[in-house]
Structure 1
Amino acid sequence: MVISNIAMGSVNALVKKALDVGVNHMVVGAYRMAISALILAPFAYILDRKTRPKLTFRLFIDHFFSGLLGASLMQFFFLLGLSYTSATVSCAVASMMPAVTFALALIFRTESVKNLKTKGGMLKVLGTLICISGALFLSFYKGPQISNIHSHREAIHHNNNDGDKTKNWLLGCLYLFIGTTLLSLWMLFQGTLSIKYPCKYSSTCLMSVFAGFQCALLSLYKGIDVNDWVIDDKFVIIVVVYAGVVGQAMSTVATTWGVKKLGAVFASTFSPIGLISATLFDFLILHTPLYLGSVIGSVVAVMGLYVFLWGKKNEKEASTALPPRMDKEASTNCPNV
């Protein structure tokens, strides 16, 4: 999960640069999914051959919705938000995923509401609120540009020409939040799907195939233009290939495996690592200037994450001490047992 989120941070930073060229973001998504499917197909055939269960119509439908939640619709909103903001901001909003996933887990009752009265439960709620506060601060306060000694004139020139998108900062943050919510829903859905279909390579490959077609259909929202599908910029081609192999194929397989081992809520708590990765990659390699609001909001969001993890740790320690007492109560109340 650590490696996966480091990779995703670098992918977001590179894709942001590619989107600034003016590429249709869903065309990037469609190519990304197609590359992911091609890369994973041989792994799925060889490594999952003996353990792969029979594909039923229900499993096809499940993978269709998996692609819709975790890839096509998620990318539609997330990449659109990324085009209006920056890689650092996108990963900062994505760092809210533990809080969003936890809230959704309560709604769908995969997390117990009774646990909220315990110390661990209260810390998890507090961490969730801090995460949301950090993201809201980041959204509503852009702040002054922090001095960047590595900035190139080209980056400053590009920033000045991007005034229209800067005005849409709030809209971009809203799109990013919708994308993050969809990804949280996917992680919860994946927790169930990984039990029914435990082959991570085959599952991710199927998801990528469905998502590729879905992204192609979503690309039509700007109208039908064949030229959108012709990418002749070498940098954009490299980014699309890197995003497909590392950002989609490898990262999704790792995340699917992480959800299966750790659960959706705990696996999502690694997302702020992507924020740190994107910030460093953006600042040190792509020479993109930082803004004060992004830094403060990111720090608050990460603080919220670790309060959430502290609550998770307390909850786990309490649960390890609970079974003996439960067994004792059960034997007292039910003598026949």
Structure 2
Amino acid sequence: MSVEKWSPVMSIVVANVGMGSVNALVKKALDGGVNHMVIGAYRLAISAFILAPLAYFLERKRRPTLSFRLMVDHFISGLLGASLMQFFFMLGLAYTSATVSGAFISMLPAITFALSLILRMESVQDLKTKAGTLKVLGTLICISGALFLTFYKGPQISHPHSHPEALHHNNNKDKTNNWLLGCLYATIGTTFLSLWMLFQGTLNIKYPCKYTSTCLMSVFGSFQCALLSLYKRREVKDWVMDDRFVIFVIIYAGIVGQAMSTVATSWSIKKVGAVFASTFSPIILISATLFDFLILHTPLYLGSVIGSVVAVTGLYVFLWGKNKEMKAAATLCPPIQNEDKNDKNNNNSNNKSNGSRLPV
């Protein structure tokens, strides 16, 4: 019972650790001048290639028929959770850092909660309770952390001699403008990811085959990314990868960051819901920061650290409210379940007694 309870949590934690490391590696590749949507297209193509045999062998006996409507739903899923999300998020990653982008991903629960209110997936009446107040307060603190990240970069707090390339970049006149633009792009990318999580909650019900669903999403997303790559440059050489590090990043991002993470996230959403699954997004920030700083030796800035701490604080205020809400719901559920169970037993006994009176 405990394994069943904790498996969605462990699944989303592992997925987010993987995503954090992917963001740090992709940032390093983007600094080399690679077209970010070419990375996205290859990454999704590798994901589809990895998942196709799993989908065929593991889900062929229970896979529902793919209707035109389901194909359209998977096309939208690829648009929200793959192509448009990566288009904006990786632009934000290119202009800022893996730590800052991870901090914006940490706002995912707050954005998902706000969107669920707008789309009426969450009840507005619940906001009048203590749990609802905490959720709103946590959302506002998350937004404050994001604004701090956006408008205050601050001094470099890591040792400057360990990051000689950072000193060169700091002399750029356009650095501040790029930083603000990068924060805006990261916010838009996170919003698309929130929309995907909410959309995925309904798609999981209509098409409960996680490998096939993720494979279809990857196929559509790959073609969409290829089209979006044309906005920047239309040269064939952009698609030829000769750098071993970039090739490694694309393969790693396709397997870990797309195939494994999307399957794990989709399955967790199905088990615990989109809002709850999104609450583990700060793990991406922690993983990206540690990977970025300790392995890739990228400099840290005071504004990034303070803004990230504020955003994560807001998240856990939100989680506090969510926990109170779940406890309140748990106190109401057992009597209802017991009553339903008693009714079912009574109905079964009545059927049996009625059945015994029927002539043979």
The one-letter code sitting in structure 2 at the alignment partner of 1:315 is E
Q: What's the TM-score once normalised by structure 2's chain length?
A: 0.88
Aligned residues of 2:154 and 2:303 also touching (Cα < 8 A)? yes
Name the counterpart of 1:330: none
Name the counterpart of 2:238: 228
Name the counterpart of 2:299: 289
The correspondence for 2:101, drawn from 87, 90, 96, is 90
The one-letter code sitting in structure 2 at the alignment partner of 1:270 is F
Shift of 1:316: 1.1
Q: Deviations over 1:9-47 (max 9, x none)?
A: 000000000000001100010000100000000110011
Higher mean alpha-carbon deviation, 61-70 vs 44-53, is at 44-53
Shift of 1:168: 1.0
Aligned residues of 1:85 and 1:166 also touching (Cα < 8 A)? no
Q: What's the TM-score once normalised by structure 1's chain length?
A: 0.93
Aligned residues of 2:112 and 2:194 also touching (Cα < 8 A)? yes
Aligned residues of 2:146 and 2:307 also touching (Cα < 8 A)? yes
Name the counterpart of 2:44: 33
Aligned residues of 2:160 and 2:167 also touching (Cα < 8 A)? no
Shift of 1:321: 2.6
Closer, same or farther: CA 288–163 of 1 in aligned 2, 3 Å = farther
Q: Deviations over 1:175-234 (max 9, x none)?
A: 000000000000000000000000000000000000000000000001321111111111
The one-letter code sitting in structure 1 at the alignment partner of 2:109 is P
The correspondence for 2:325, drawn from 315, 322, 326, is 315
The correspondence for 1:107, drawn from 101, 115, 118, is 118
Rounded to whole Å, the distance in 2 between the matches of 1:325 and 1:21 is 60
Name the counterpart of 1:331: none
Higher mean alpha-carbon deviation, 220-229 vs 86-95, is at 220-229
Matches within 5 A, 1:176-255: 176-255=186-265
Percent same amino acid among aligned pairs? 76
Aligned residues of 1:150 and 1:287 also touching (Cα < 8 A)? no
Closer, same or farther: CA 158–258 of 1 in aligned 2, 3 Å = farther
Shift of 1:165: 4.1
Name the counterpart of 1:332: none
The correspondence for 1:76, drawn from 84, 87, 90, is 87
Rounded to whole Å, the distance in 2 between the matches of 1:226 and 1:165 is 29
Q: Deviations over 1:275-308 (max 9, x none)?
A: 0000000110000010000000000111111111
Closer, same or farther: CA 324–253 of 1 in aligned 2, 3 Å = closer
Name the counterpart of 2:23: 12
Q: Deviations over 1:60-92 (max 9, x none)?
A: 000000000000000000001110000000000
Rounded to whole Å, the distance in 2 between the matches of 1:321 and 1:74 is 38
Rounded to whole Å, the distance in 2 between the matches of 1:310 and 1:206 is 36
CA-based RMSD of the aligned residues comes to: 1.6
Name the counterpart of 2:342: none
1:23 pairs with 2:34: yes
Name the counterpart of 1:261: 271
Name the counterpart of 2:355: none
Shift of 1:152: 3.9
SS in 1 for 2:33: coil
SS in 2 for 1:290: coil
Name the counterpart of 2:344: none
The correspondence for 1:60, drawn from 71, 92, 104, is 71
Rounded to whole Å, the distance in 2 between the matches of 1:263 and 1:150 is 46
Shift of 1:105: 0.5
Aligned residues of 1:93 and 1:135 also touching (Cα < 8 A)? yes
Aligned residues of 1:32 and 1:248 also touching (Cα < 8 A)? yes
Rounded to whole Å, the distance in 2 between the matches of 1:144 and 1:44 is 49
Rounded to whole Å, the distance in 2 between the matches of 1:195 and 1:293 is 42
Rounded to whole Å, the distance in 1 between the matches of 2:159 and 2:83 is 35
Higher mean alpha-carbon deviation, 156-165 vs 116-125, is at 156-165
Q: Deviations over 1:116-141 (max 9, x none)?
A: 11111111111111111111101110
Q: Rg larger in 1 or in 2?
A: 2
The one-letter code sitting in structure 2 at the alignment partner of 1:46 is F
Shift of 1:157: 5.1
Rounded to whole Å, the distance in 1 between the matches of 2:100 and 2:21 is 13
Rounded to whole Å, the distance in 1 between the matches of 2:336 and 2:76 is 39
Aligned residues of 2:48 and 2:216 also touching (Cα < 8 A)? yes
Shift of 1:108: 1.0
